[in-house]
Amino acid sequence: MEIFNLDLSRIPSLLGYQPGAPMIFSSGLFFFLFILFVLIYIPLRKYSYARIFYVTLFSLYFYYKSSGIWFLLLMFTASSDFCIGRLLSLSSNNLERKLLVALSLCVNLGMLGYFKYTNFLCQAFTGLGVEIGQIFGIEQLQKLSYQPMDIFLPVGISFFTFQSLSYIIDIYRGRIQSLKRWIDYVFYVSFFPQLVAGPIVRARDFIPQIYKTPSVSKAEFGEGLFLIVCGLFKKAVISDYISLNFVDRIFDAPLLYTGVENLLGIYGYALQIYCDFSGYSDMAIGIALLLGFRFNINFDSPYQSATITEFWRRWHISLSSWLKDYLYISLGGNRKGKVRTYLNLLITMLLGGLWHGASVRFLIWGAIHGISLAVHKFVMGRFSSFKQSGELMNPLRRVIGVLITFHVVCFGWIFFRADSMQRVGEMLTQIATNFHPEVFLQFLSGYKVVSFMMITGYLMHFMPRKAEMKMQLAVTKSPLVIQALILIIAVFIVFQVKSAGVQPFIYFQF
């Protein structure tokens, strides 16, 4: 078995940066390194500075394994905002404080803009120039062309820039005090469980935990283990398997499949992206809990939502709450009239879509959600029978709301996943004109494992909260030996699935 066949001659290359194999939680290398990390971490728990320094070093190494020399970019961001935060705390001049916040915005958004949006913006302006040249007959503009630059996108740059910005804005708003030690701030920004894929951790929630001596009760250990095992199963088994063996095939060539297969591919992607994001978040929250740090929940069964507003209170909660607190409210929120509220919702979601990726498709995805949120808010204002969430509805209305909300979200996922607008058009055309429902039974027989994975994934997702809590309680109350055995079995299953040809998959465009 791969996990036990360790070739010692490969150790130097395994420990170095490998561009094609970034280290993620579901990899065997991380499993072994984390065990070694914990063996040293445990005796250092009572020594605050040594513990902070040690975890920071490991976190920077973890990021180095993901982005190579660009870990220096992370240190630059941390150093820049640490200094700006200290200056903010020492200044009482309102104009000076605003300029310092503007400086932080320029540094963080400038880096994010260069690495993530340079090619997108240059291509957009080139295309605009060509259009203007064709309209006004300017030959020089008509000949414009742009060759995209080869710009490396550091892993997780969207997450740590947003996290660092929230720290500066919270100091400006008087919600927190600036840190006095540079190493403490680097610890906060680089903490490896949430570094490359979230959740986005607020300074006011995390920083107070830095100075407490980490302690993990038996119940917390069981909870952390439960989250890690669930995350592994969702991320490395369900998401990776249906991605490689079904979803990718549909989105790569939708015209080769009937409409019902395209629709099932969309349902499969909805499950895949949920299991990928929430699975990684579960593992991050569980690993942090084992180290004595508690993060807030990041996904709360979002497809159980009966309205689009409820969906964004359950989906990627750390991001949606960040967009609300630092973008929507900064734009004016709902304080400047109804029309401005709808416009603020649309702008927030457009920018949220652009945050996910530099493409018109992501803007359309953001627009779908922004318009849906605005429409829902408008309807609630006109009709008192429309509610914000399903818990306020009668059972029948809630079921109808869940079905409608799920399909609005799935419609958005088409633009999020398809690699071009042409693919989007092909998928929608096949569903509308070449549906063939009789193929459904052939799909079940031809894709037995994929069908099993999808059914299992959705059953897990729609499991009642009480049943999920009972499962977690059973793990939490079980003896440590049983808990360790559960983890070993989970790791074994993951490596068996990978050895069968399933490769790890994660959305590193962030």
Please report the pLDDT score of residue 9 as a whole number.
64
Please report the pLDDT score of residue 186 as a whole number.
94
Q: Which position has the token pair 């808010």?
A: 377
At residue 243's C-alpha, the angle toward residues 241 and 246, to 5°, is 95
At residue 261's C-alpha, the angle toward residues 259 and 266, to 5°, is 95
Please report the pLDDT score of residue 477 as a whole number.
74
Please report the pLDDT score of residue 259 as a whole number.
94
Long-range contacts of 114-120 (CB under 8 A, 24+ apart): 114/151, 115/151, 115/152, 115/153, 115/154, 115/157, 116/153, 116/157, 116/158, 116/358, 117/354, 117/358, 118/149, 118/151, 119/148, 119/149, 119/151, 119/358, 120/358, 120/359
Catalytic hit among 356, 369, 376, 461:
356
Letter string b/e over residues 128-160, b meaning 16 or more CB atoms within 10 A of that residue's CB = ebbeebeeeeeeebeeeeeeeeeeeebbbbbbb
The encoded tokens of residue 13 equal: 């290359």
In Å, how far from its chain's centre is CA 61? 21
CA distances to 47, 48, 56, 306, 476 from 212, rounded to whole Å, are 10, 8, 16, 40, 23
Angstrom distance (rounded) from CA 343 to CA 263: 32
Angstrom distance (rounded) from CA 352 to CA 322: 10
Please report the pLDDT score of residue 489 as a whole number.
66
Neighbours of 345 (CB within 10 A): 25
pLDDT in tens, 283-334: 999 999 999 999 999 999 999 999 999 999 999 999 999 999 999 988 888 8
Angstrom distance (rounded) from CA 210 to CA 45: 11
Return the closest-CA partner of residue 17 out of 79, 50, 60.
60
Q: Which position has the token pair 């550091």?
A: 154
In Å, how far from its chain's centre is CA 328? 19
DSSP labels, 189-250: HH-GGGTTT-----HHHHHHHHTSPP---HHHHHHHHHHHHHHHIIIIIIIHHHIIIIIHHH
CA distances to 117, 308, 314, 386 from 368, rounded to whole Å, are 21, 11, 17, 20
User: Does residue 148 have a cis bond before it (omega within 30 degrees)?
Assistant: no
Radius of gyration of the chain (CA): 24
CA distances to 166, 234, 294, 453, 484 from 474, rounded to whole Å, are 37, 19, 20, 24, 14
Q: Which position has the token pair 């015209």?
A: 255
Task: Enumerate residues 6+ apart whose C-beta is below 8 A from 72.
Answer: none
Classify burial at 414, counting beta carbons within 10 Å of its beta carbon; exposed 0-12, middle 13-18, buried 19 or more. Answer: buried
Which residues of the chain have a pLDDT value below 50?
Answer: 1-4, 6, 501-510
Catalytic residue status for 356 = yes
pLDDT in tens, 375-415: 999 998 888 888 888 888 898 999 999 999 999 999 999 99
